[in-house]
Chains A and B, each alone.
Chain A
């Protein structure tokens, strides 16, 4: 197989709180190949969001590397890192907090263009933003409106349009569908699959929801208390988990087949 697009090696980040050491990331390694969607699944405190921040080079680790296209992000100079940022973008969990309420949709989506030295101006820029809106299933007319006019799902589409504007190689999504209603979540998941098919974007998808991983991911990394418990292709890990924690996560998800369980329990001794 070709070299991975994203290569995380031995990532370590410890915090000290009240004289206790919290191992937020404890020797985390993963390989994400171009064009694939990798789920990082775990419960609160598993370190999955800390991992996302380090992959985005928003935080520096105590040890370890995050290599994108073979370049270690933490070895880059500030200006080189800044130039590199157009290649990896992020979508956040809360579509109400991640869009500046004072800006128009057009201004919001154009934000990452300051990373691009030869970014188009004026009419060309507007055309680019309209195309980005249409890519995420929003009509171009919304370009001059403000975030408050949009629902949670529509806002998340705007956030995705912004993240994709610089045509990044890697998209990091941190619980990007967790705040959405299920029917809206389903639409956004489909959008991610469509965008991958169209643009070949690679996605690191952080989530607590193993059902969503099953739905859209090719590979999965299961995390618990800062460590990778298990990783591999989704079908392999979810259909035949090797680790007890993965099995526990799978069995804890409420299913629809427990109907009648109460009746059976009542009928029993």
Chain B
């Protein structure tokens, strides 16, 4: 199993007072090559869940349960052990490509950074690999753009750079937290196309977090629905959308714009 989350609970301890539990027991398994969508509204705990998986929760967070990455427990791992896993085992794509990238560093160097530190590539080898990755995420004229700064690129291009960084160390698991939420809808479609194709071609597992069921539907084998820290429903994406077992899932679907809902009904026979 690539990732196994077992009864994960997360609480935050305020400076004074009793800890507040924000994730109340989430369990799921993710097989190699499988994609899982996590959908929920603000405050559902979906981002906390992804940060727990990366071992990136703030210090005042307390976790219980298990997060097994390829069999080894992330929650009990030291920061040193986590550093060895991050990038190599798990890659992460963040929502805001402008804040996730270093504004003072050329994008080629940002992609090459992990390659040099983690794989010990030489400067020129790392640059060549960065160029290959920029081609892979379909940055036009990659050879000219490799020395650009993030502010010289559009939002969609910046997010492609984010994908290139996340894939640079060939992780087995990719966690994408609202990767296209900050993008225009036509750009979102392009970025999702690239992301889906790479995940499928490279055979890596993906956890895709989104508030948008449409984004989940097009990319994910299975879907986990969260609400206020609770696991509401987990199942094959098609089943969750076509035959939701829970009222909350139904209300999420009915909150989608009419023409998006119509697309679900229109293909019931397919």
Decide: A257 near B186, CB < 8 A? Known: A182-B41, A211-B259, A212-B257. Answer: no
Q: Specify which of B186, B217, B219, B242 is in contact with A255 (CB 8 Å cutoff).
A: B217
Contact status A182-B255, CB under 8 Å: yes
Complex interface: chain B residues within 8 A of A183 (CB): 41, 251-252, 255
Residue of A nearest to B241 (CB): A256
Q: Does B212 contact A (CB under 8 A)?
A: yes
Contact status B270-A182, CB under 8 Å: no
Decide: A255 near B255, CB < 8 A? Known: A181-B42, A182-B41, A262-B221. Answer: no
Residue of A nearest to B251 (CB): A183
**CB 8 Å contact bits of B235-269 with A (1 = contact, 0 = none):** 00110011000000001111111111101101100
Give residues of chain A (233-269) contacting chain B, Cβ–Cβ below 8 Å: 238, 248-249, 251-262, 265-266
B253 to chain A, nearest CB (A): 8
Most interface-central of B186, B221, B242 (chain A CB within 10 A): B186
Q: Specify which of A152, A181, A211, A259 is in contact with B260 (CB 8 Å cutoff).
A: A211
Residue of B nearest to A214 (CB): B259
Complex interface: chain A residues within 8 A of B266 (CB): 257
Q: Does B48 contact A (CB under 8 A)?
A: no
Residue of B nearest to A260 (CB): B238
Decide: A257 near B263, CB < 8 A? Known: A43-B186, A208-B184, A262-B196. Answer: yes
**Residue total for A at the interface (Cβ-Cβ under 8 A):** 33
Complex interface: chain B residues within 8 A of A257 (CB): 217, 263-264, 266-267, 270
Q: Does B218 contact A (CB under 8 A)?
A: yes
Residue of A nearest to B218 (CB): A258
Interface residues on B, range: 35 or more
Complex interface: chain B residues within 8 A of A210 (CB): 185
B260 to chain A, nearest CB (A): 6
Q: Does A93 contact B (CB under 8 A)?
A: no
Complex interface: chain A residues within 8 A of B184 (CB): 43-44, 208
B12 to chain A, nearest CB (A): 19
Question: How long is the Cα–Cα vector from A215 to B155 in the complex, in angstroms?
Answer: 28
Q: Specify which of B41, B258, B270 is in contact with A214 (CB 8 Å cutoff).
A: B258
Q: Does A185 contact B (CB under 8 A)?
A: yes
Contact status A256-B217, CB under 8 Å: yes
Question: How long is the Cα–Cα vector from A265 to B188 in the complex, in angstroms?
Answer: 20
Complex interface: chain A residues within 8 A of B238 (CB): 259-260
Question: How long is the Cα–Cα vector from A185 to B255 in the complex, in angstroms?
Answer: 8
Q: Specify which of B185, B211, B217 is in contact with A182 (CB 8 Å cutoff).
A: B211
Question: How long is the Cα–Cα vector from A266 to B213 in the complex, in angstroms?
Answer: 22
Contact status A256-B257, CB under 8 Å: no
A151 to chain B, nearest CB (A): 9
B181 to chain A, nearest CB (A): 11
Give residues of chain A (156-209) contacting chain B, Cβ–Cβ below 8 Å: 181-186, 208-209
Residue of A nearest to B238 (CB): A259
Residue of A nearest to B261 (CB): A256
Contact status B213-A256, CB under 8 Å: yes
Contact status B215-A254, CB under 8 Å: yes
B166 to chain A, nearest CB (A): 20
A19 to chain B, nearest CB (A): 16
Contact status B252-A256, CB under 8 Å: no
Provide 16 A-B residue pairs closer than 8 Å at the C-beta atoms, listed in order of the A residue. Answer: A43-B187, A152-B42, A182-B41, A211-B256, A211-B258, A214-B259, A249-B186, A253-B214, A253-B257, A254-B217, A255-B218, A256-B253, A257-B270, A259-B218, A259-B237, A262-B196
Residues of B within 8 A of A (CB): 41-42, 155, 184-189, 192, 196, 200, 211-215, 217-219, 221, 237-238, 241-242, 251-261, 263-264, 266-267, 270
Q: Which 10 A-B pairs have the closest CB atoms?
A: A211-B257, A254-B214, A255-B263, A181-B41, A43-B184, A256-B264, A182-B255, A257-B267, A257-B263, A258-B218
